[in-house]
Structure 1
Amino acid sequence: MILAGVAILLVGMSNLGNGFKSFSGGLLEKILKKSTDTRVKSIAFGTITTILMQSSTLVSVISISFLGAGLITLAQGIGIVFGANLGNSAGSWLIVGLTKINISTLAIPLVVSGALLGFQKDSVLKGLGSVFIGIGFFFLGVDYIKSGFESYKEIMDLSKFNFTGMKGVLIFVALGAITTGIVQSSHATIAIIISALISNQITYENALAATLGTSVGGVVTAVVASLSTNLDGKKLAVANCIFNFTIALIVIVLFPFFVNLVNLVADILGIENIALKTALFHTLFNLVAVILISMFVGQIVAFLDRVIKEPKNRDTDRPLYLNNNILEYPDTAIEALQKESEHLYNNAYAMIAHTIGFNRSDIRSKESFDFIVENKKWFSGSVDLDYLYRQKIKVLFDAIMEFSTKAQLYADDEAKVHRIFSFKLASRNITEATKNLKIIQGNMKVYANSTNKYLADEYNEMRKDMGELLRSIEKLKLMKDESVHLILQNLKGAEKLLKEKDYSAFHRVETLITENKISVTNGTSILNDSAFMAQIAINLIEAVVIIFAKDEYSEEIKQD
């Protein structure tokens, strides 16, 4: 019966989490942006969200995923997970309250109502049904666990296995941590602890120690979730460990003091029930931890930045923002795709810059490209474009295609489906642009440095045109939202100019050949490479318009 109770409670927690996800509709993401800009707000957001969802693990996993997607900063994420630990203690009060009433009278109507709502077509009603079922199963699970312990005490008295002193504290902290790590739910473990306590199977102090252990074991799920996210996600998981391990160590060392503190506060509040005192203990040590450790968030961030770094000499790039945990949040998935597409563009930008003989510092500078071409030599190193394509482009393109295909399944309206699909087009255009670099690489370096001035001028004009385009895109990335629309319109208009310029190259080449200034072979090379350069530029423009366009321009892009 105890095991059945744990199973039912876990099913309830799963339904509760899925219910909140199904009708968030981007609300959680919007609240995150507006409600986590200060440390206090971040902690409050984590606390309130956890109280509503009744799962600090879920809030921590969501925070890690949103941080990985670049939606929040590391400091904001740390504030949220600190608050989530505090909000998690509300579950202890709920569980204690449930042990004092006939829970089935509440649970059955909730489960029945949830099942009926689950058959509705409306996603909000379905989500509400999942929440009702989750709460109902949560209630039933607690009831089964309580009944199981009440039956078990007639068969065997576990109280004889209780330990006193520091030995008892360490043993029951470990038991609480291990149980929570196995069942992946601190609420399930708390339900077991409270039920065992009111059945006199464990002592009051052992119950407090085991409750402390749930905070330690609760980090397991967040740590596992961080394995599939980027570096910042891993840092947040470590910050969560720092929070829980630090307060656990402090409470263990000062355990008698905390017991006295709980008893003192309980006397002030008029609380005599030992189960309620256990819930009070859960709240107090998390509150102390939030007050104490939140003062060192800046130092924690600096420590994590210093200690956790990307491995050196790692040639193969990897996605920085894509994480399957955010697929169920379409708005966040779209932001992640936008950032990852920009990451892909940045890799392509570096390859294109080197192919046309410019350093990235040249492109970002204010010097004219006429001056750069005249006064700076082509860099001496060679670039293996095939290798860079495999290591820096294709791996990201594949990841974007896979993630966007999955994300479309969760999109809840046509505009979001189209926006997600557009990133496939953008990443394909960038990938095609880098493929064409190999074709022009050899001629570009040889002919731009040719002793034949006319031949060199033609190739240097191609270099300068591409350099100007890359410089415009770099400026675009730094512009404010209100200026972006105009620049995007200009870039789209540039496509026509590129095609016209490619066409005019025929007349220039024809004249140069007629005047014997270049050979016919040189002329055909200019025409071919000019066409390839124009196509690379067009691919880049089409990709950039998608990546940097805001939602209000989506209909316009759709028509294009």
Structure 2
Amino acid sequence: MFSLINAIGGIGIFLLGMSLLTNGLKEIAGETLKKWLHTFTKGTLTSLLTGFVMTVLVQSSTATTILTVGFVSAGLLTFVQSIGIIIGANIGSTSTGWIISLLGFKISLQAMSLPMIALGVLIQYVAPSDIKKYGGVFTGFGLLFLGIDLLQTGMESAQEWISFDSFDTESWLSILLLIGIGILMTIIMQASSAAMATTLTALFAGAIDFEQAAYLVVGQNIGTTATAIVASFGSSIAAKRTAATHLLFNVVTAVIVTVFIGYILQLVEFMTVGLVGSFDETVGLALFHTLFSVLGAIIFVPFTKQFSKLLIKMLPEKANALTRNLDDQLVSIPSAALEVAYQTLLQMMKQLTDAILELIEAKKGTGSFEKKVREVEAAIVEIRKFLNEVQSDSARLRNQHVAIIHVLDHITRLVSVLREHQKVEGIYHHEKLMKRFSKTLEQINESFGSEETLSAMEQELEKTAHTIAEERRTRRRKYYERTAVRETELEVAMSKVQALLWIDRLVYHYWRAFARLVEFQKGAEIEESTNFRDVETM
């Protein structure tokens, strides 16, 4: 009974260690990974290599997958490129088995783990804030090794509470049961690395034989897709396609490996002897795990485009709703979440641009205008909820996060301006001013697809906003002077001034929202420009 408790406790500590390790590595390398993902995914092979390297670095294929979904949603990666990254992440996730097989059973893990935990906790408590994240990595590694040590202790007498003697690997029923147990292990533990660690430890302790362990690993590779599948429920189409890619890749590979497992195990034995000089079962199992994913890559990579077309046909895109890419699964990767928020706000600005142009053209609010504004209002509510869950740690991400919030604030104010009744008066009383703004908006509408021209358009908008602010000051005084000498009715003058103030607010908030979008691209904080504003017109 004590050995069973040790084993269960070891799994728990291992999972805690993996969580701390992954979170620490993500925090350290998050921005770098984002740049890599965007830069080194030009083709299928480079995408595969990127997915592999990222997963080895953060020790989490889930983190890589979530970041990939974010970039696909943001339009920075194609779905074809994402398939390569997911396959690479699958191969990278096998690195945990190598760490355990090469280190876990060769040295005293307890002697190594406790000093690492002590050092990690010390760093987290006394080090400067920028260094604290490294403490999580050390603590994670220490707990990971301590968990394996406890697992080993528990597995020493594993035969007392677990028996695989009845599982004859010559029987298809036994094979299917072993694969089913592997699937359940991963679903229950919610981590393929923990399931692999348990399997390796059971193999090392002699509780299972090598072939039984291989079938468990086949099941674990299928079971690891469960997290992505569950996470995709209610998520974006990009998340669903990613989960489907992961599932089909692992299931098809599992079927092929199971059919040809005799030949594959012979190859594993031959390669293991070549690597370590003799057949080490734990190293052999780590190698089998890697070969599983490599074989899947060999099968799928040549047909990536056809595979992507199949999945797109199976899971077609929903209606082009503004918030379709705001996937709650992305909030754990701030860089990806902010990128998706930026793209969503850019689409909201494009829709508002269309709505304003329509308003100017029709000189009144049409049904289409109302529909566009209502959709933006609904999107504002959704993106607020989404951003509320995002926490940015690095200085660059904080600056981009603040810029995004400013954009949302100005879009909210812009919608409020469009809801004011003065909009019709503004268009009728100051048609020339509105036509000037309309020409600028038409130019902007052609620039939304190009980041290079957005910055130039922001400067044009700033000039327009300054010009209209100056017009507002000059004309306001003239209207009141004419009223004083009874050249204009006071009611008419006041109506024209209110219309001017409405135009000024409209142009100002449009410009500032646009400027903050450009600022997000640069990743730098720029002070809000208020040098030509009056408090009453905000």
In the TM superposition, residue 248 of structure 1 has moved relative to its aligned partner by 1.1
Mapped pair 1:121 → 2:102: no
Partner of 1:76: 81
Partner of 1:495: 465
Partner of 1:393: 376
Question: Among residues 221, 224, 230, which one is paired with 2:230 in the alignment?
Answer: 224
Q: 1:322 to 1:58 in 2, by over 3 A?
A: closer
8 A Cα contact 1:65 1:326, kept in partner: no
Superposed, 1:50-61 pairs within 5 Å as 50-61=55-66
Q: 1:537 to 1:519 in 2, by over 3 A?
A: same
- Alpha-carbon distance between aligned partners in 2 of 1:332 and 1:108, rounded to the nearest angstrom: 35
Mapped pair 1:88 → 2:100: no
Mapped pair 1:144 → 2:150: yes
In the TM superposition, residue 262 of structure 1 has moved relative to its aligned partner by 2.8
Mapped pair 1:197 → 2:203: yes
- Alpha-carbon distance between aligned partners in 1 of 2:154 and 2:516, rounded to the nearest angstrom: 59
Question: Among residues 169, 174, 192, which one is paired with 1:168 in the alignment?
Answer: 174
- Alpha-carbon distance between aligned partners in 1 of 2:216 and 2:199, rounded to the nearest angstrom: 7
Partner of 2:255: 249
8 A Cα contact 2:158 2:202, kept in partner: no
SS in 2 for 1:477: coil
In the TM superposition, residue 3 of structure 1 has moved relative to its aligned partner by 0.8
Superposed, 1:463-482 pairs within 5 Å as 463-479=434-450, 481=452
In the TM superposition, residue 528 of structure 1 has moved relative to its aligned partner by 3.9
- Alpha-carbon distance between aligned partners in 2 of 1:127 and 1:435, rounded to the nearest angstrom: 42
8 A Cα contact 2:330 2:337, kept in partner: no
Give the fraction of aligned pairs with identical amino acids, expressed as a percent: 24
In the TM superposition, residue 130 of structure 1 has moved relative to its aligned partner by 1.2
- Alpha-carbon distance between aligned partners in 1 of 2:46 and 2:280, rounded to the nearest angstrom: 33
Q: 1:6 to 1:416 in 2, by over 3 A?
A: closer
8 A Cα contact 2:73 2:325, kept in partner: yes
Mapped pair 1:410 → 2:395: no
8 A Cα contact 1:469 1:537, kept in partner: no
Question: Among residues 383, 390, 402, which one is paired with 1:421 in the alignment?
Answer: 402
User: Higher mean Cα deviation, 535-544 or 270-279?
Assistant: 270-279
Mapped pair 1:28 → 2:33: yes
In the TM superposition, residue 140 of structure 1 has moved relative to its aligned partner by 1.7
8 A Cα contact 1:271 1:277, kept in partner: no
- Alpha-carbon distance between aligned partners in 2 of 1:243 and 1:393, rounded to the nearest angstrom: 38
- Alpha-carbon distance between aligned partners in 1 of 2:365 and 2:70, rounded to the nearest angstrom: 42
- Alpha-carbon distance between aligned partners in 2 of 1:436 and 1:55, rounded to the nearest angstrom: 46
SS in 2 for 1:272: coil
Mapped pair 1:178 → 2:148: no
Superposed, 1:101-500 pairs within 5 Å as 101-154=107-160, 157-227=163-233, 229-266=235-272, 269=275, 270-312=277-319, 317-318=322-323, 320-321=325-326, 323=328, 325-329=330-334, 331-357=335-361, 382-383=367-368, 385=370, 388-389=372-373, 391-407=374-390, 409-413=391-395, 416-440=397-421, 443=424, 460-461=431-432, 463-479=434-450, 481=452, 484-500=454-470
8 A Cα contact 1:51 1:88, kept in partner: yes
Partner amino acid, structure 2, of 1:118: Q
8 A Cα contact 1:180 1:186, kept in partner: yes
Partner amino acid, structure 1, of 2:418: L
In the TM superposition, residue 244 of structure 1 has moved relative to its aligned partner by 1.0
8 A Cα contact 2:323 2:344, kept in partner: no
Structure 2 residues without counterparts, runs of 5 or longer: 1-5, 531-538
Q: 1:282 to 1:549 in 2, by over 3 A?
A: same
- Alpha-carbon distance between aligned partners in 2 of 1:223 and 1:236, rounded to the nearest angstrom: 9
- Alpha-carbon distance between aligned partners in 1 of 2:108 and 2:477, rounded to the nearest angstrom: 91
- Alpha-carbon distance between aligned partners in 2 of 1:161 and 1:352, rounded to the nearest angstrom: 70
- Alpha-carbon distance between aligned partners in 2 of 1:114 and 1:536, rounded to the nearest angstrom: 53
- Alpha-carbon distance between aligned partners in 1 of 2:311 and 2:489, rounded to the nearest angstrom: 61
- Alpha-carbon distance between aligned partners in 2 of 1:466 and 1:5, rounded to the nearest angstrom: 66
In the TM superposition, residue 15 of structure 1 has moved relative to its aligned partner by 0.8
Q: 1:163 to 1:253 in 2, by over 3 A?
A: closer
8 A Cα contact 1:10 1:138, kept in partner: yes
In the TM superposition, residue 410 of structure 1 has moved relative to its aligned partner by 2.7
Give the TM-score taking structure 1 as reference length: 0.82
Partner amino acid, structure 2, of 1:397: I
- Alpha-carbon distance between aligned partners in 2 of 1:555 and 1:318, rounded to the nearest angstrom: 26
In the TM superposition, residue 512 of structure 1 has moved relative to its aligned partner by 12
RMSD of aligned residue pairs (Cα, Å): 3.5
Partner amino acid, structure 2, of 1:231: I
8 A Cα contact 1:397 1:428, kept in partner: no
- Alpha-carbon distance between aligned partners in 2 of 1:179 and 1:197, rounded to the nearest angstrom: 15
Partner amino acid, structure 2, of 1:335: E
- Alpha-carbon distance between aligned partners in 2 of 1:419 and 1:62, rounded to the nearest angstrom: 17
In the TM superposition, residue 426 of structure 1 has moved relative to its aligned partner by 2.2
Mapped pair 1:45 → 2:17: no
Give the TM-score taking structure 2 as reference length: 0.85
SS in 1 for 2:316: coil
8 A Cα contact 2:399 2:523, kept in partner: no
- Alpha-carbon distance between aligned partners in 2 of 1:442 and 1:383, rounded to the nearest angstrom: 16
- Alpha-carbon distance between aligned partners in 2 of 1:242 and 1:553, rounded to the nearest angstrom: 38
In the TM superposition, residue 95 of structure 1 has moved relative to its aligned partner by 2.0
Partner amino acid, structure 2, of 1:41: T
SS in 1 for 2:206: coil
Q: 1:552 to 1:233 in 2, by over 3 A?
A: same
Partner amino acid, structure 1, of 2:394: D
Partner amino acid, structure 1, of 2:504: A
Partner amino acid, structure 2, of 1:232: A
Q: 1:459 to 1:307 in 2, by over 3 A?
A: farther
- Alpha-carbon distance between aligned partners in 2 of 1:3 and 1:406, rounded to the nearest angstrom: 33
- Alpha-carbon distance between aligned partners in 2 of 1:426 and 1:90, rounded to the nearest angstrom: 42
Partner of 1:543: 513
Q: 1:324 to 1:123 in 2, by over 3 A?
A: farther
8 A Cα contact 2:519 2:526, kept in partner: no
- Alpha-carbon distance between aligned partners in 2 of 1:538 and 1:92, rounded to the nearest angstrom: 58
Partner amino acid, structure 1, of 2:246: N
Q: 1:333 to 1:130 in 2, by over 3 A?
A: same
8 A Cα contact 2:440 2:460, kept in partner: no
Aligned length: 522
Q: 1:552 to 1:86 in 2, by over 3 A?
A: closer
In the TM superposition, residue 11 of structure 1 has moved relative to its aligned partner by 0.6
In the TM superposition, residue 283 of structure 1 has moved relative to its aligned partner by 1.4
User: Higher mean Cα deviation, 461-470 or 287-296?
Assistant: 461-470
In the TM superposition, residue 272 of structure 1 has moved relative to its aligned partner by 1.5
8 A Cα contact 1:93 1:279, kept in partner: yes
User: Higher mean Cα deviation, 47-56 or 223-232?
Assistant: 223-232
- Alpha-carbon distance between aligned partners in 1 of 2:30 and 2:284, rounded to the nearest angstrom: 39
Superimposed CA distance per residue, residues 429-464 of structure 1 (whole angstroms, 9 cap, x where no aligned partner): 2222223334458847xx98xxxxxxx7x5654552
